[in-house]
Amino acid sequence: MLKSIAVLTSGGDSPGMNAAARAVVRTALYEGVKVWGIRGGYHGLLEEDMFEMKSRDVSDIIQRGGTFLGTARCKRWKTPEGRMMGYKHLTDRGIEGLCVIGGDGSLRGASLLSKETGIPIVGLPGTIDNDVWGSDYTIGCDTAANTIIDAINKLRDTASAHRRVIVLEVMGRNCGWLALVSGISGGAEYILVPEEEYNLDEICDNMTEAYKKGKRYILVVVAEGAGSGQEIGQYIAEKTQLDTRVSVLGHIQRGGSPSVIDRVRASQLGEQAALALISGLSDIVFGYSKGRVVSIDLHDAVNNKKILDPDYLHLAKVLF
């Protein structure tokens, strides 16, 4: 059983990272294990920006967006020398295992550290994109989807007043989950995701038809990986001559106080990550699948591509 572990957050921040880090810390302390917080991700590890944590250090943070530990880009971490130095900074303090909360790239970096140094590593999927293989869920995706539907509610007001086409670009470079789920929830007429072909000309024809029949407004949700909202909006405007507006939500999707789901699941994942790490397990990522916490091989998680739930794709078609 390990005596001392550390936790860091890395990559783009997501709502619920604080809840996850808090659960790691409190679980470790509950088990009588020392726990260190590393500030600013791998960069902070290289800069030795770290401190031993007490229970109160994670008070009053479960409701906060962002990550109180901070995160940063780190080029040096991409080199074996960098990672070796990180390893040294951990062992210098008697730290025997590391919990990494972050997205794809961050987990990949963690897997290299484990391979090269043998130090136990457990990962948690912290990203709003919900694109980690083996898990139905990533920390922050529920809050981000709710942020998007709040925006859709506001856009609908103005779209309906003007009989407009609204194109809303949301995050998701490789994965259309956010677009699909928020599009279904927001009652979008069209949802464009990177996983599916679409024919913009056909869509334009349908729009024209719908307006003739008295439709008051049309909402198109586009995952950034499926095309630029700006370009798609311009194409629609030219082709249909309908009054079209584009909104690009951007980094607002990353912020905000986490939802209940993101707080509870992040807490559960954080607890399991700490327990696993303390017991000496390594090279696993904790995710959520079939309604419960599951452990996924770290190598599999970073090397496989998640597929969009076909039930959702079908649902989107039936409902509109």
Q: What's the start-to-end Cα distance of the chain, in Å? A: 54
**Is 127 annotated as a binding-site member?**
yes
Candidate list 2, 5, 6, 9; residue touching its own copies; CB under 8 A: 9
The DSSP line for 212-240 is HTT---EEEEEEGGG--HHHHHHHHHHHH
**Is 172 annotated as a binding-site member?**
yes
Q: Is 64 among the residues that bind its own copies (CB under 8 A)?
A: yes
| Minimum separation from the CB atom of position 154 to its own copies (A) | 3
| Minimum separation from the CB atom of position 117 to its own copies (A) | 27
Which run of H or E residues covers position 245? strand 244-248
List binders of its own copies among 200-239 (CB under 8 A).
Answer: none
Q: Which two tokens stand for residue 79?
A: 């080199």
List binders of its own copies among 69-98 (CB under 8 A).
Answer: 70-73
Q: x/- string (CB under 8 A) for its own copies, residues 183-202?
A: -xxxx---------------
Burial of 29 (0-12, 13-18, 19+ CB in 10 A): middle
- Identify whether the C-beta of residue 193 lies closer than 8 Å to the C-beta of residue 220: no
**Is 164 annotated as a binding-site member?**
yes
List binders of its own copies among 120-139 (CB under 8 A).
Answer: 136
Candidate list 6, 23, 139, 273; residue touching its own copies; CB under 8 A: 23
How many other C-beta atoms are found inside a 10 Å radius of the C-beta of residue 81?
A: 9
**Is 23 annotated as a binding-site member?**
yes
- Identify whether the C-beta of residue 18 lies closer than 8 Å to the C-beta of residue 68: yes
- Identify whether the C-beta of residue 120 lies closer than 8 Å to the C-beta of residue 97: yes
Q: What gap in Å lies between CA 212 and CA 233, rounded to an integer?
A: 20
| Minimum separation from the CB atom of position 84 to its own copies (A) | 26
201 is an active site residue: no
Q: Is 115 among the residues that bind its own copies (CB under 8 A)?
A: no
Residue 59 or residue 199: which is nearer to its own copies going by CB? 59
Catalytic residue among 49, 57, 92, 129: 129
Candidate list 2, 7, 13, 83; residue touching its own copies; CB under 8 A: 13
**Is 202 annotated as a binding-site member?**
no
CA distance readout (Å), 158 to 148, 155, 168, 288: 16, 5, 13, 38
Residue carrying structure tokens 């995160």? 71
List binders of its own copies among 243-262 (CB under 8 A).
Answer: 243, 245-248, 250-252, 254-257, 259-261
**Is 64 annotated as a binding-site member?**
no
Contacts of 91 (CB under 8 A, 6+ apart): 119
Q: x/- string (CB under 8 A) for its own copies, residues 287-306?
A: --xxxx--------------
Contacts of 281 (CB under 8 A, 6+ apart): 120, 122, 295
**Is 163 annotated as a binding-site member?**
no
- Catalytic annotation, residues: 129
**Residue ranges for the binding site for substrate?**
127-129, 164, 171-173, 224, 245, 251-254
**Residue ranges for the binding site?**
12, 22-26, 73-74, 103-106, 127-129, 156, 164, 171-173, 187-189, 213, 215-217, 224, 245, 251-254
